[in-house]
Chains A and B, each alone.
Chain A
């Protein structure tokens, strides 16, 4: 039966015809819902968009994720340098939302822009790299925290220093607690080695990625 909605109701088989038409409409709606690009196509489109966006200098923060022995790391860069490294436990969306608010919402996932950083992190976690050679954007740390964090690379690979000793080196020997806070909120963990600052009694102390992550990093550096 061809579809004749205007007259279908007046003929005896109207009921059957109407239900056939309704069935066809349901099929049509279902098919229209499928009118979408495939995931592969969207991924290819996205890669192309990222290239154009980078070429147009329209990206303020590029990010990628890197797998590591301390879980998935989020690595973010501005045009100045690496601005934020975050642990999985911090929540990828939470960290990106915060960057959108304090730096710029022009944030896109652009793995290629972070190839060098990802490569150096891989080498570090394999025990093949002892220091990082990456441009850093330190805009997320200010004042005393910045002073503390800038001192940290002076603590050598595999070595540790106490919070009190870092406080002395930062010119404020009484600011032990503030050193603890500065380290615990380091925006560039791993690369800026706040994990090498431990308590005077030898206990690891607070860490942005959790106590277990800090111990993993210390153990890695002790054996490599």
Chain B
């Protein structure tokens, strides 16, 4: 059995994505930490043949849902959405990453989860469906719809296209 330190190293980013699929950045941090503590406690009783990543994804998703439920019961601060983009990109890759995260946050929750689980965590639609308790077909549809919406959100506006009501 691998030392748990290696497990954190290998799967830390995946667990973060699974949590971020459901939660905002701040709550993602809580879920990430809680996931690994819970996993560490249970780790020695995990069968040698178990798929560690799938096991962590399940724990992470459950923790994230728990936190999301607790959060919706709390009064929400009014969020002020900045109209302007943040400072000019010092690091283009970072700016594009932030742009993507903003776009993901604008997807309906079901689509966001489906996109992250399939395209980022690398689960099959069937695995993603099992995780979230929907049908495989619904997971596939939500993922496709989410990708289509992301494409719209991220594509530069066509200057020749008639501008909508502004």
Contact = CB atoms under 8 A, between A and B. Distances in A.
Interface of A: 1-3, 24-25, 27-29, 31-37, 42, 45-46, 48-49, 52-53, 56, 58-59, 61, 63, 93, 96-97, 99-101, 104-109
Interface stretch (B55-63, B94-102, B134-142): B94-102
27 contacts: A3-B152, A24-B154, A25-B151, A28-B150, A28-B151, A31-B96, A32-B100, A32-B115, A34-B97, A35-B17, A37-B12, A45-B29, A46-B8, A49-B33, A52-B33, A52-B37, A56-B41, A59-B40, A61-B3, A96-B3, A96-B5, A105-B43, A105-B44, A106-B40, A106-B44, A107-B3, A108-B8
Interface in B141-159: 147, 150-152, 154-155, 158
B112 to A, nearest CB: 11
Contacts of A33: 120
Nearest to B93: A34
Contacts of B43: 105-106
A33 B119 CA distance: 8
B133 to A, nearest CB: 24
Contacts of A58: 37, 40-41
Contacts of B41: 56, 58
A31 B147 CA distance: 12
Interface in B17-61: 17, 20, 29, 32-34, 36-37, 40-41, 43-44
Nearest to A97: B3
A36 B158 contact: no
B2 A105 contact: yes
Contacts of B152: 3
Contact of B3 (A24, A32, A37, A100): A100
B104 interface: yes
A109 B41 CA distance: 16
Nearest to B28: A37
A104 B37 contact: no
B67 to A, nearest CB: 15
Contact of A107 (B4, B116, B158): B4
Interface band, chain B: 35 or more
Nearest to A59: B40
Contacts of A93: 6
Contacts of B16: 36-37, 42, 45
Given A42-B16, A48-B29, A34 B3 contact: no
Given A28-B150, A28-B154, A107-B4, A45 B12 contact: yes
A108 B4 contact: yes
A3 B2 contact: no
A105 B1 contact: yes
Contacts of B13: 36-37, 42
Given A25-B151, A34-B100, A106-B44, A101 B1 contact: yes
A42 B12 contact: yes
Q: Which of B3, B4, B13 has the most CB of A within 10 A?
A: B3
Contacts of B158: 1-2
B81 interface: no
A25 B8 CA distance: 31
What 9 A-B pairs have minimum CB-CB distances, sorted nearest first? Answer: A107-B3, A105-B1, A96-B3, A31-B100, A37-B16, A34-B97, A100-B3, A49-B33, A58-B40
A99 B33 contact: no
Given A32-B100, A97-B2, A107-B4, A49 B32 contact: yes
Nearest to B157: A2
